[in-house]
Each structure stands twice: as C-alpha cells, then as structure tokens.
Amino acid sequence: MSDLPHILDTIHSTPGVMRVILLDNRGVVRGQAGEKDEKKLADYISFISVTSAQVRTYLSISVPHNARVTLSDGQILLILFGEELTAGILLQQDTEYLDIIDKFASVINELKL
C-alpha cells in the first residue's frame, strides 16, 4: 500500500489525465489525485466496481479488465479493474484511452493492499 501515492502521482502526471481515484474491492476510496470530485465519480466507480464483482459471481463470467464511459461533456472515465484495487481515471476528451490502458492496466492489477 505504500506505493499508492507514487502510483497516483505517476498516473495523474500523464498528459490528458485529470483525476485518479483508487478504490478497494468494497468500494472504499484508498487514494485520489487531481481536481476536486465534484461529479461524484468515486461513488460511480464504486458502484460499477462492486456491482461488476457481484454480477461476475452470479453469472459466472470472467473478470473484466476495464470499462470506458464517455461523459456528456466529452470527458472519458476509464475504469481499470485490478485484483485488489480499481482505478477510475478521468481523461480529457481528446486523450487516447488505449494508451492509458497500455501504460497502467498491469500496474493496477498488481497493486496490493
């Protein structure tokens, strides 16, 4: 868990990243960086993460690696699911989300509490 501040800073300093929120499997915020969460993104990410885990168990489906939501203002909310943590990354609308997935999906998956 001591790596979380460093990981948050690394992701947040990536061009196009506006906000990063890390949550555990219960939906509890474990760290965040960036602009104030006026859109209540942490609540939404928590809902998606916890609901996804419940649906996976109920339907016996494989673990998703990520989800992408385009907000009404064109920003992209990228959700990266890890083994113990989920990262919600708010991107500027012109940011290539596949690059962010390539850079950080495995990092998030390997983070431990």
Q: What is the pLDDT of residue 83?
A: 84
Identify whether the C-beta of residue 32 lies closer than 8 Å to the C-beta of residue 9.
Answer: no
- H helices within the chain, ranges in order? 4-12, 41-59, 97-110
Q: Which residues contact 60 (CB under 8 A, 6 or more apart)?
A: none
Percent share of the chain, pLDDT over 70? 96
Structural domains in the chain (count) = 1
Q: What is the pLDDT of residue 63?
A: 64
Look up tokens 């989920």; give the residue: 86
Mean pLDDT of the chain: 87
Q: What is the pLDDT averaged over residues 86-100? A: 94
Domain boundaries, position 56: 4-110
Check which CATH number belongs to the domain holding 34 and give it: 3.30.450.30
pLDDT higher than threshold 90 for residue 9? yes
Q: What is the pLDDT of residue 1?
A: 47
pLDDT per residue over 30-80, tens digit each? 999 998 777 788 889 988 888 887 777 777 776 668 889 999 999 999 999
Which two tokens mark 7?
């990981």
b/e per residue, 61-75, with b = 16+ CB within 10 A? eeeeebbeeeeeeeb
